[in-house]
Amino acid sequence: MSEDYKNMWKELGLDLEMHDALLEVLGKGYQDVFLSQKNRPEGMGYFDFVMSEVHGLRIKELMDEKKGGRKIIGSYCVFVPEEIALSGNATLIGLCAGADFALGEVEKVLPRNTCSLIKSTFGFKLGKVCPYLEASDMVVGENTCDGKKKAYEIFAEMVPNLYIMDLPQMKSDQGRALLKAEFYQFKEKVEELTGKTIDYPSLKTGIKTVNNKRRAIHRLSGLRKVDPAPISGLDALLANQIFFYDNPARFTESVHKICDELEKRIEEKTGAFASGTPRILISGCPMAVPNWKLPAIVETSGAVIVGEESCVGERGTRNLTDESGGSLEELMDAIIDRYFKVDCAIFTPNPDRLSHIEEMVGTYQADGVIHYGLQFCQPYSMESMSIENALKARNIRVLRIETDYSMEDAGQLRTRVEAFIELLK
């Protein structure tokens, strides 16, 4: 590790010893889970490089952007509109919360029965190991589930630049009006932070940049419809995870490159897995870096994951923002319309999510669905039962999993996943 990086981390206030320990675990996990896969597309080399430099080169790039006058905004939810951040001369980074860290410290400030994602958010802060969080000029929290909503009250004492966005809970006219008010307020907040006025041309450019990134991911998803699947679910998940913090234009180009390669594989009928391998759709809570536990178990138990109904996946990326508006107001409306379609389980009622899961089962020719819930996540646990019942009524096989970030249940999970895959054969 270069001295320059060490100095950079020190300046950001990281705990170098803890940070080294985290990088070591991350590197080992990546080696075991990703680099051990067979028959990977060559284009994944780019993402391997991104991951190997996740706390190095990418942070250096962000620090250089800051020196050039750009601001960095960190977020924990796909409701935070990247289009607005980009057009206001800010870079939006999805802050990862996919591993346990400093759990002892975390449980001094949060109840034990809090979901792993929230605990992880706190662990990275308390352990001083996340350079993205420390590099952020503003961090956006949101009123989504009760856990996050109340946890941000405590988080605000640790993160002075925390900005809270209120979010609707119902898809009603009032709900849309609230989202509109919040997005306009967020726009003002970004302008205040960066000193740049968001105007029609800049917003249009921002929308196009984010749409291009989504189009690339849509192309990648589309290629997973075929059998044999040309890419593993793990590698596709990784692309979806990197979506949140890579440079948008470079990410778009790199995903298209992989897609070119996958198209050749499809022509040659060479896939990441043999033809006829049971195909799984994962649905539920988001899997942030480095939360690879369940997909790794699934894909080393004889199945391939062909889609993610998740915010780190299709729930987060599926709709484009209409680029055709002729005024700033029309573009803002298009952004609000696009985000209002996100069918997070915090909404009530939330029928769109079930329809989307059913649609994905058909589109990706899935043989079964694994509903992935984090322990103590009320919104997704509550929805999981009705989703299971509805899918079973349509003869779609479902396995409902509740887990956390620890590896304690890995053996038990593997047994359940293997039994489920047997049923699909």
Q: Of 303, 379, 401, 421, which one interacts with ligand BJ8 (CB under 6 A)?
A: 379
Q: Is 110 in the site for ligand BJ8 (CB under 6 A)?
A: no
> Within 10 A of 268 (CB to CB), how many other CB atoms are there?
9
Least Å distance between CB 225 and ligand BJ8?
24
Give the list of residues 6+ apart from residue 50 with CB closer than 8 angstroms, or none: 58, 242, 246
Binding of ligand BJ8 by 346 (CB under 6 A): yes
Residue 145 found at the interface with ligand BJ8 (CB under 6 A): yes
Which CB atom, from 46 or from 405, has the smaller least distance to ligand BJ8? Answer: 405
Amino acid code (one letter) for 187:
K
173: buried, middle or exposed (CB in 10 Å: 19+, 13-18, 0-12)?
A: exposed
- Smallest gap from residue 418 Cβ to ligand BJ8 (A): 25
- Which of 227, 302, 308, 282 minimizes the C-alpha distance to 398? 282
- Name residues contacting ligand BJ8, limited to 293-312 (CB under 6 A): 311
Min dist CB 309 to ligand BJ8, Å, is 11
Structure tokens that stand for 27 in this block: 């590197």
From 117, 130, 190, 203, residue interacting with ligand BJ8 (rule: CB under 6 A): 117
Which stretch, 1-9, 25-33, 321-329, 376-384, contacts ligand BJ8 (CB under 6 A)?
Answer: 376-384
CB of 373 to ligand BJ8, least distance (A): 8
Nearer to ligand BJ8 (CB atom), residue 34 or residue 183: 183
CB of 378 to ligand BJ8, least distance (A): 6
Compute the least distance from the CB of residue 229 to ligand BJ8, in Å: 25
Distance (Å) of CA 357 to CA 40, 279, 335, 380: 27, 14, 24, 13
Q: What angle do CA 139, 376, 404 make, to 5 degrees?
A: 80
For position 331 contacting ligand BJ8 by CB under 6 A, the verdict is: no
Q: Residues touching ligand BJ8: how many (CB under 6 A)?
A: 20
Which stretches of 95-246 are assigned E, i.e. beta strand?
138-143, 162-166
Query: How far apart (Å, rounded) are the C-alpha atoms in residues 333 and 328?
Result: 9
Near ligand BJ8 by CB under 6 A, which window of 190-198, 248-256, 301-309, 340-348?
340-348
Say whether residue 77 binds ligand BJ8 (CB under 6 A).
Answer: yes
Site for ligand BJ8 (CB under 6 A): which residue of 93, 130, 377, 413? 377
User: Rule CB under 6 A: is residue 236 a binding residue for ligand BJ8?
Assistant: no
Q: Tell me if 103 contacts ligand BJ8 by CB under 6 A.
A: no
Q: Whose structure tokens read 């109904």?
A: 309
C-alpha to C-alpha distances, 325 to 43, 74, 322, 330, 332, nearest whole angstrom: 36, 28, 7, 5, 9
By CB under 6 A, is residue 179 in contact with ligand BJ8? no
Residue 334 sits in the site that holds ligand BJ8 (CB under 6 A): no
Secondary structure of residue 165 in the 3-state scheme: strand
Among 81, 98, 286, 313, binds ligand BJ8 (CB under 6 A): 286
Residue in 389, 346, 349 with CA at minimum distance from that of residue 143: 346
147 binds ligand BJ8 (CB under 6 A): yes
Among 14, 72, 99, 118, binds ligand BJ8 (CB under 6 A): 118
Write the DSSP string, 229-290. Answer: -SS-HHHHHHHHHHTTTS-HHHHHHHHHHHHHHHHHHHHHT--SS-TT--EEEEEES---TT
Residue pointed to by tokens 């080169």:
57
Does 148 contact ligand BJ8 by CB under 6 A?
yes
- Region near ligand BJ8 per CB under 6 A, out of 62-70, 72-80, 156-164, 383-391: 72-80
Q: Is 123 in the site for ligand BJ8 (CB under 6 A)?
A: no
Place of tokens 């270069």: 2
What's the CA angle centered on 383, arms 305 and 419, to 5 degrees? 40
Under the criterion CB under 6 A, does residue 79 sit at the interface with ligand BJ8?
yes
Q: Report the interface residues with ligand BJ8, using CB under 6 A.
A: 77-79, 115, 117-118, 144-145, 147-148, 285-286, 311, 342, 344, 346, 374, 377, 379-380
